[in-house]
Every structure is written in C-alpha cells, then in structure tokens.
Amino acid sequence: MLKTAAIIGGGVIGGGWAARFLLNGWDVRVFDPDPEAARKIGEVLDNARRSLPGLSDMPLPPEGGLSFHDDISDAVHGATWIQESVPERRDLKIKVYKGLQEACSPDAIIGSSTSGFKPSELQEGALRPEQIVVTHPFNPVYLLPLIELVPTPANPPQLVERAKALLTSVGFFPLHVKKEIDAHIADRFLEAVWREALWLVKDGVATTEEIDEAIRMGFGIRWAQMGLFETYRVAGGEAGMRHFMAQFGPALKWPWTKLMDVPEFTDELVDMIADQSDAQSGMHSIRDLERIRDNNLVGMMRALKARDWGAGAVLNQHDAALKPGALPTMEQADLSQPILTVARAVPLDWTDYNGHMNEARYLEAFAAATDRFMEIMGCDADYIASGGSYFTAENHIRYIDEVKAGAKIEIRTQMLLGQGKKLHVFHSMYEGDKLLATGESFLLHVSLETRRPSAPSADIEAAMARIAEAQANLPYPQGAGAAIRKPA
Ligand SMILES: NC(=O)C1=CN([C@@H]2O[C@H](COP(=O)(O)OP(=O)(O)OC[C@H]3O[C@@H](n4cnc5c(N)ncnc54)[C@H](O)[C@@H]3O)[C@@H](O)[C@H]2O)C=CC1
Ligand SMILES: C[N+](C)(C)CC(=O)CC(=O)[O-]
C-alpha cells in the first residue's frame, strides 16, 4: 500500500496527525494557508519525536518525508489517507472537501477531525459522500490511541474496515461509533464535565486548580485504566453493578448536578476562569505544559503496557505488529556475530534528574536482550508455559557513555557459554557506532515446578551448540569477566 497521507489544516490537531503518520513511516503532505504552519508542525514534531518512539519496545519504521504545498490539489495528490483538521466550522469543512475531492483519488479515505459535527452533516452536497468519515482524535494525537470512527450508511462497509486497519497500523485504537450523534461519545462526557466545572467556578464553590486536583488525585487516574462502568462495578463490592445502582440510583433524583442548565459565558466568567488558570499554571509556557503532559502520559501508558491493560494493551498489539522483521530470528541472524536482541528508542520514563538514562534502566534494557536471546534459542512463551525457564544468577554492567530520551539504541549479544544448565551472555549497547554500555549475565536453566536448576530441552541444547560453534571465532569481549577492584 502507498503510505502517503495528506494533512489539511496543520494546527494543534493536524500537527499531531502529521507526526503520528510520519513517525510510523508514512510520507506526509501538508496544506495549510497559515505562513507559520511549518514552524508550528515542526514544534509538534519535536515533542512527538521525544515521546512517541520510546512508547514502543520495538523500533518504529524509518520516518517518512514531510512536504508543504501551496495548493490543496497538489497536497492530496497520491494520498491514500486525507485528514481534514481545519477550524470547527461546518461551512469551511464542506468547502474544503469540495476543493480536495476534485483532485484526490476516489479510493482515498477522507477523515474529519471534527469534535462535534455528525458525518452526515459533512457529507451533505459532497462530490463523493461515501469517501468522508469522522475520525475524531484526542490531543496529543501522536500519543493517545483513541480515534472515534463515525461512518454513515453512505460509507461502504469495506471503506470502514479499511479505515480501521489503516488507523490500527499507525498505532491508533479505532472505536467504531455505530450511531452518529453530535459530539460522538467522548466529547459528550467532556462537555458534561466542562459544564459542571464552569458552574462550580461561577458559583464560587471551587477554583480551576481545586477542580483539577479533584480530577487528577482521584477519579481521573481511575478512569484512565478502567473507564466508568468497570470502575463502578468494582465500587459495588461483591454484589457488583446491581448493588452500585441500588445504592447510588436514588442520587439521580437529588440535586447532584446542574448539567442541564448552561452557565452564561459572560465576560465576567471568562475573566474569572482565565485569571484563575493563569494563577494556577501561568508559570509554565504552553510548550512546557505539553512536555510535562507527554512525560506523564508516557509514564502512565508504559505502566499500563506492563499490565497489558487498556491503552497499554493497544501499545503491545502495535509492538507485536512491528516485531516481525524488527529483530532477527535464529534463522535470520548471522550467528557468527553478536546477535541483535534489542532495537528501540529510549523512553521518556527511563531518564532521571541527570537528564539521561537512569542506571537501573540499563539493566532493564539488558534484561530485555536476555529475554530475546532466550526466545531465539527456543526458550519462548510456550516453552516457559511448559515448565522450563532461566533464572539470572549474576549481572555486571559497565556504564561507558550517556544516552538521552528518544535516542535509538541497539543491543548485540554474544554467547560466552551455553552448555547444560549454564548460559553466560555478554551484551553490548550502542547508539549508532558509539558503545554506551556492556552487560554481562550468568543464568541457570530451572524447572519452574521445583524452582531448582535443571537441564534444558534437547532443542535448546542444540540451539546453544549451534550458536557456540558459529561464535567460536569471536574474540572474548573487552570488559567480560570484569569486577570492581579494590582501590589500590
Ligand atoms: N484542539 C483540540 O483539542 C481538538 C480539536 N479537534 C478538532 O480538530 C479540528 C482542528 O482543530 P485545532 O487543530 O484545534 O485548530 P487550530 O486552530 O489549532 O488549527 C486549524 C488549522 O487549520 C488551518 N486552516 C484554516 N483554514 C484552512 C483551510 N481552508 N485549509 C487548510 N487549513 C486551514 C489554520 O491555519 C490552522 O493551522 C477542529 O475540527 C476541532 O474540533 C479534535 C480533537 C481535539
Ligand atoms: C475540547 N474539544 C471538544 C475540542 C476536545 C476534543 O475534541 C477531544 C480532546 O482532545 O479532548
């Protein structure tokens, strides 16, 4: 498939789409009449480059090419995906589709980032309504997986399936919204919370900061991992959802919300909120806040990844799709050389107060290299489920050079001994040609039933013998067998 995306409107959201496609290996063609568009997209891209690649435990494909076009027809030329992210005005969006549909391929998918318009409202009067769907993203588009994919009966089912596959291929989670509605699903929640919050400020109940604390210290974190219904099911105790509803159902008749009244957006209310927001966050620039947000999101999403849960499970599925071809198997590797066992970007949450990768994360990277080496030898998930595995008995790390978030690192592994229950490996970590660190590990094969050392399977013995023979001529690596010596 031709991987070319056209970005029509390159502001906050269009810039995020551009980054998502580019960092997943697509060529991106941008049309935006704003003379500052290239600078603005460049800044979004800088943020994306430091945060997105490290979310993955696999290397992303090589970055695609970015080009800017003065003419919309030129921008959509050859594009498989066209993403419209112009300001939220229906007349403008419809005018934009008219211009671009005259030039684009009838097979291209046109997604609209609209926060609130229904797809049927955007398809009205279009040259080919069947090409246009809503694909509503969440800011920052380069990190958050959700896309609300809202089609209408005018869209052929094959186009909807193609849209889902394509969005998934760049790491999104397309949520198929089956019945169109103003503001789709998620923005209806955001609107409800926003209205309630405006009342709380207007009525002098809470400041903008107190409202944010109420969210981020409690239910916001809870929602990020379980959403609303699963969280309330747990809150119902052993009796679950039914008990929860019996207990809190009556509250629906109590004055717990002012949701149906809309506070009037007077100058006074706008000033009050803007002033409180300045007092709360004015010490940070918007770019600083974006970086703080991205650091937090990466940390939280990587924690969910380790649990294979929610947004973390989506990241793992994206990694699984990237894995074939990213790291060599036993058959693909040149066994006469140290074998590539890790290729990835350094994630934001691996760096520390010194502004570089924390010492503990070197061990995490080397442990991943050992896991991959075991997998190559045949000690994979199925083998481990059958009761055999390796336990590490000793590690030695040498820290040679520093490395920063976003840097692309590779680890290559030499087997120093692989015989019977013993496995001795030596990992070298590089950024390009620069040696960053070495990690040496001694492991013992164990039975997971007795928790005692045991002989590996014949297949693993054979794999170790094959690697030993192939690597027999490699020099013993510098630094292997080293220890911290007593100062003279
Ligand atoms: N900002 C947000 O939090 C979110 C916004 N959205 C939706 O994304 C869309 C864009 O919103 P933002 O990026 O926030 O707005 P924005 O104001 O940051 O960007 C809009 C961009 O469109 C460009 N533009 C204006 N007229 C154009 C035209 N005729 N052709 C091409 N480009 C044109 C502007 O120069 C600007 O760069 C809206 O539909 C909005 O509802 C969706 C999710 C979140
Ligand atoms: C405020 N908003 C309606 C534009 C928000 C969105 O559409 C989604 C988001 O990123 O919060």
Assembly ipTM: 0.97
Q: How far is the CA of 187 from the centre of ligand 2 (A)?
A: 6
Q: Where a domain ends, among 223, 248, 283?
A: 283
Sign of CA dihedral 327, 331, 334, 336: positive
Closest ligand to the CA of 100 = 1
- What's the pLDDT score for residue 458? 98
In a shared domain, residues 8 and 29: yes
Domain for residue 321, yes or no?
A: no
Asked if 347 and 455 sit in the same domain, the reply is: yes
361 close to 349: Cβ distance less than 8 angstroms = no
CATH at 350: 3.10.129.10
Atom 7 (ligand 2): residue with closest C-alpha? 115
- Nearest residue to 94 (alpha-carbon basis) of 105, 103, 86, 106: 86
Cα-to-centroid distance, 87 and ligand 1 (Å): 4
Asked if residue 134 belongs to a known ligand binding site, the reply is: no
Say if 486 falls within a structural domain. no
From ligand 2's centre to the CA of 252, what distance in Å?
Answer: 27
Q: Are residues 133 and 160 in the same domain?
A: yes
Residues 43 and 94 in one domain: yes
Q: Find how far residue 128's CA is from the centre of its chain.
A: 33
Is residue 322 one of the residues assigned to a domain?
Answer: no
User: Any idea what the CATH number is for the domain that residue 234 is in?
Assistant: 1.10.1040.10
Residues 229 and 343 in one domain: no
Residues 140 and 201 in one domain: no
Please name the residues in contact with 333: beta carbons below 8 A apart, sequence gap of 6 or more. 339, 340, 376
Measuring from atom 25 of ligand 1, which residue has the nearest CA? 86
Question: Which ligand is nearest to the Cα of residue 117, counting in written order?
Answer: 1
pTM: 0.93
Q: Is residue 408 part of a domain?
A: yes
Give the distance (Å) from ligand 2 centre to CA of residue 115.
6
Atom of ligand 1 nearest to the CA of 96: 29
Phi, psi of 33 (to 5 degrees): -70, -10
Q: Are residues 38 and 170 in the same domain?
A: yes
pLDDT in tens, 176-215: 999 999 999 999 999 999 999 999 999 999 999 999 999 9
Looking at residue 13, which CATH number applies to its domain? 3.40.50.720
Residues having CB within 6 Å of any atom of ligand 1: 8-14, 31-34, 37, 85-88, 96, 113-115, 136-137, 139
Task: Flag whether 365 is in a domain.
Answer: yes
On whether both 152 and 214 belong to a single domain, the answer is no
Q: What is the mean pLDDT of each run of 10 residues along the chain (488 residues)?
A: 93 98 98 97 94 95 97 97 98 97 97 98 97 98 98 98 98 98 96 95 97 97 95 91 90 86 90 95 94 96 97 97 93 97 96 96 98 98 98 97 95 98 98 98 98 98 98 96 86
* Close Cβ partners of 38 (under 8 Å, ≥ 6 residues apart): 30, 68
Asked if 226 and 251 sit in the same domain, the reply is: yes
- Residue 420 domain flag: yes
Q: What is the pLDDT of residue 259?
A: 83
| Chosen domain end from 157, 176, 195 | 176
Taking the CA of residue 208 as centre, how many other CA atoms within 13 Å lie in the half-sphere pointing to its CB? 15
> Which pLDDT score is estimated for 253?
87
For ligand 2, mutation pick of 86, 135, 187, 293 (most atoms within 8 Å of CB): 187
- Residue 414 beta carbon below 6 angstroms from any ligand 2 atom: no
Same domain, residue pair 37 and 73: yes
Choosing from 228, 251, 283, the residue where a domain stops is: 283
Asked whether residue 296 is assigned to any structural domain, the reply reads no
pLDDT in tens, 74-91: 999 999 999 999 999 999
33 and 94 housed in the same domain? yes
Question: Would you say residue 319 lies in a domain?
Answer: no
The parent domain of residue 192 ranges over: 186-283
Listed as own residue / partner, the contacts of 298-303 with beta carbons closer than 8 Å and 24 or more positions apart are 298/51, 298/54, 298/55, 298/143, 298/347, 298/348, 298/349, 299/348, 299/349, 300/224, 301/55, 301/143, 302/55, 302/347, 302/349
Question: What's the gap between Cα 293 and its chain centre?
Answer: 14
Looking at the fold, whether 106 and 250 belong to one and the same domain comes out as: no
- Measured in Å, residue 479 CA sits from the centre of ligand 2 at 53
Q: Look at the chain and report how many structural domains it folds into.
A: 3
Q: What is the pLDDT of residue 149?
A: 98
pLDDT of residue 325: 87
